[in-house]
Chain A
Amino acid sequence: MSPAARGRAARCGLIALPVAFLAVFFVYPVTAIVSRGLREDGAWRPGRVVEVLSDPGIGQVVWFTVWQAAASTLLTLLLALPGAWALARLDFPGRRLLRAVVTVPFVLPTVVAGSAFLALVGRGGLLDDLFGVRLDGTVWAILLAHVFFNYAVVVRTVGGMWEQLDPRQEDAARVLGAGRFTAWWRITLPALAPSVAAAALMVFLFTFTSFGAVLILGGPRLATLEVEIYRQTAQLLDLPTAAVLSIVQFAAVSVMLLVHARTVRRRETGLGLTGTVDPARPPRGVGQRLLLGWVLLVIGLLLLLPPAVLVERSLSVPGGGWGLDHYRALFLDGGGTFPVAPMEAVGNSLRYAAVATLIALVVGGLAAAALTRRAGRLVRGFDALLMLPLGTSAVTVGFGFLIALDAPPLDLRSSWVLVPIAQALVGVPFVVRVMLPVLRAVDDRLREAATVLGASPWRVWREVDLPLVRRALLLAAGFAFAVSMGEFGATVFIARPDAPTLPVAVARLLGRAGELTYGQAMALSTILMVVCATVLLALERIRPLRSGAF
């Protein structure tokens, strides 16, 4: 075999496992959904889409899904872009910690955010206690929760790029006669614009497919497509309607992902990145200090306060004062909610998440390695396909698993592995997204230099790519783990009643009225939050290792 043919073969080999994984656990279930939704009595009936959508109730759901996503995106960009700049370009005490802190909400499970905002703005929440203000059941609670989650998306995507942009490029423009604003407008903004677009699309996607937070905060009136799919399945037992809604959602998301893939492809080419230089400087002037103050205020009120209130509620004892009563109650039987003590959910979640992380790393890592070499349209299509599970919404995945994998040839209904697989499916795009830009940023000639010095393709990966992406790999693992821990939309469909995960347990507890279950939910949410936050903060500590190893 010639070297070129061998290279092609190697690429095919790398790509085979991820493709097989996606085919079995994503494409197949989605196909099952389509046939469940559009086939009736053995005949195709595409007209069902129109029938379902023309239902006024459903129409309202679709409209709400779209506009709340648009509003959430706008609000998030508005509040988070200054933050992205400040955290990337300003050097101030506590910057590293703050950077870690703002990332935490993103990997916090949606149910944690839901219960945190419930504790803040819901019935008997902090605002209710202090001012008699309640926002649960209104769109405001949902919008704020969405900002809470997606702040980090903007900071990571845009800020990450901002941080790496070599400030000397702007300097060069200044020297060439551009004013401060012109230099920013002509040099920095064009470099940033694609990442802003990418971030906006991501936020829109996430909020479009928002499930846990809307389920908890939206009350009975407000529902996104996701929530509606869940209701149709779990409460109304109308599987065909749920399937049609899944198809609609899937189509919408696919379009958005195509646009996103296009944006990203443009982004990852030839930027002047610093790599090692930290461009951050201490704030200068009143303007920069004011902006920093505003950023800190937003972070304080929207990102830090809700979790703090959550912790406070979990520790407040019914009779007044503080105590661990709610935590102790977790070891009791679930009061009829579960066949097991709620505390067991912690062990379940950790186990599932560990397995899911492993799967996601292997599948996502291989996919990223294969995608590194920019190649034909086929590979680009694969790139988009990889993103699909992320946007397609966990609910579709869970629903698909439910109706596709419970019958031969693949009867995994009673297998515990179904849950980690679903979670990995959600984690894979994260792994690819984190790894790919870093891998692609590696100068190909560096690999060539290693090759000429005698390194086989595998050695090149180990000696050149791996050291440069080690941090990204750890980051990917951490993200995958945290995402798996908090995964709710898919898990809620497939977790066995006697083995609930943390988010599922929280949602069930919140679904039941009562002081005890409310307190238990708050306590369990707090535990889940602490686990996820710890993982994230641990990852943030890994950062300096990179510069130390250099």
Chain B
Amino acid sequence: MGTTGTTDGPLLRLEGITVRFAGAQGPPAVDGVDLEVPAGRTVCVLGPSGSGKSTLLRVVAGLRRPDGGRVLLEGRDQARVPAHRRGVGLMFQDHQLFPQRDVLGNVLFGLRMRGTDRATARARAEELLRLVGLPEAGGRAPASLSGGEQQRVALARALAPEPRVLMLDEPLGQLDRDLRERLAVELRALFRTLGTTVLAVTHDQGEAFAMADRLVVMERGRVAQVGTPVEVWQRPASAFVARFLGFRNLVPVEAVGERRVRSPWGEIPFDPVPGTGSSGLPETWRGRAQLLVRPGGVRIIGGATDPVDDAGAGDAGAGAGTATPRCVVTGRTFRGDHVVLVLRPERGPTVEAACPLRGAPEEGEVVRIRFDPAETVALPPGEAGDRWEAPAPEG
């Protein structure tokens, strides 16, 4: 599975972890998950709510027994190690600070449990509070802190006993967006500095991309994809992952020739799947695929009145010409340095396009578009929920 950062093997390794909820129908909540967290790295488990992420953390922490599979910490099976002896840290989604203790008391807790002597523990707790930016908060009650501050205290508390693995459950989920982005960057820097090994789960891709060295995307209890953020972003492993990452331009296609497919928008060239033959698709897909076009790969090639060869455009069956469908601009969202357009072509599903602010068409304008093959990704074909039927070739 991809590149592993260290030579000593992963610090944390999950093998075939399966969890069934009592009385629940259908597939297990966590279904045979394999996962590795190398020492000093941050691995983010990304998935929609209900995909079994939090349960996975509880299994690693020893708060829940898996129905199958093993948890290995530094190569040792943890099945018989109770939660309080695992030496892992867990930061709960809603912090769970001890209400009856002040901030310092909270941070000291894990150190006290380990029997660290008072002076050392206090020094370490204060150092951590400084590290998370709350050097003066030691005497305050958790309830008097803001959400972001509670977050930092929870982090300091989890870090204080130097856990072998720090687990974060939706670490920034409850904070407002601005704070979230800032904290994500801060956290990454902090973990780098401390060399902390982190396993985080989140449903927020921005959070995951900002923090993670590696991503594990989960779909209904199973691992859908593992890779670096860049790998996942550039080459989502499935339509599910692509949609979860926010990609909208996703259509079922059929191979029609060398590195060309017929799509609902017409015939277009695409970026072949690495290591495949002339068709550009793996044999097992039997000439079918789902094609992802990144918004940046949708090029506006002129207004409707510009002189473009109209013959065959948007008509998939008529010859080898690349489709340049004509679209109406139905939505236009300003995103700072660029504009996201929603385009309705004459046929096929709507297209999302990102284009520079300068010269972006207005809402209601009619434009022609072209798809940049380099910005396409062919994904495994068909699954339930693909609403768009590829149009039959015209005879």
- Point out residues on A near B: beta carbons under 8 Å: 1-4, 6, 275-276, 443, 445-446, 448-457, 459-460, 463-464, 467-468, 549-550
Contact = CB atoms under 8 A, between A and B. Distances in A.
B96 interface: yes
Interface string B83-117: 11111111010101011110000000110011000
B98 A464 contact: yes
Contacts of B89: 452-453
B255 to A, nearest CB: 52
A456 B96 contact: no
Contacts of A468: 99-100
B19 to A, nearest CB: 13
B161 interface: yes
A451 B63 contact: yes
Interface of B: 61-63, 65, 79-90, 92, 94, 96, 98-101, 109-110, 113-114, 141, 143, 157-158, 161
A3 B62 contact: yes
Contacts of B62: 3, 451-452
A275 to B, nearest CB: 7
18 contacts: A1-B80, A2-B79, A2-B80, A3-B80, A3-B83, A448-B90, A448-B96, A449-B90, A449-B92, A450-B98, A451-B61, A452-B61, A453-B109, A453-B157, A453-B161, A455-B109, A455-B113, A549-B100
A371 B137 CA distance: 37
A449 B88 CA distance: 11
Minimum-distance CB pairs A-B, first 3: A454-B113, A453-B110, A3-B82
B141 A459 contact: no
B91 to A, nearest CB: 9
A467 to B, nearest CB: 4
Contacts of A1: 80
Contacts, number: 83
A445 B92 contact: yes
A550 B109 contact: no
Contacts of B92: 445, 448-449
A456 B113 CA distance: 8
B230 to A, nearest CB: 32
Contacts of A448: 61, 63, 83, 90, 92, 96
Contacts of A6: 82
B295 to A, nearest CB: 39
Contact of B84 (A443, A452, A464, A467): A452
Contacts of B65: 2-4
A2 B110 CA distance: 23
A450 B63 contact: no
Residue of B110, B114, B161 with most chain A CB atoms under a 10 A cut-off: B110
Contacts of B63: 448, 451-452
Nearest to A3: B82
Contacts of B90: 448-449, 452
Contacts of A549: 100
Contacts of B143: 276
Contacts of A457: 84
A455 B96 contact: no
Given A2-B65, A3-B65, A450 B82 contact: no
A4 B81 CA distance: 10
Nearest to A460: B84
Contacts of B84: 451-457, 459-460
B83 A550 contact: no
A454 B100 contact: no
Given A450-B113, A454-B84, 18 more contacts: A1-B80, A276-B143, A443-B96, A446-B98, A448-B61, A449-B90, A452-B62, A452-B83, A452-B86, A453-B110, A453-B158, A454-B85, A454-B87, A454-B110, A460-B84, A463-B98, A467-B100, A550-B99
A328 B44 CA distance: 81
Given A6-B82, A459-B113, A463-B109, A452 B88 contact: yes
Contacts of B94: 445
A368 to B, nearest CB: 19
A4 B65 CA distance: 8
A424 B80 CA distance: 40
Contacts of B79: 2
A285 to B, nearest CB: 32
Nearest to A466: B100
Nearest to A459: B113
Specify which of A448, A455, A459, A460 lies most central, judged by the most chain B CB atoms within 10 Å of its CB.
A448
Contact of B96 (A4, A276, A445): A445
B296 to A, nearest CB: 42
A460 B96 CA distance: 14
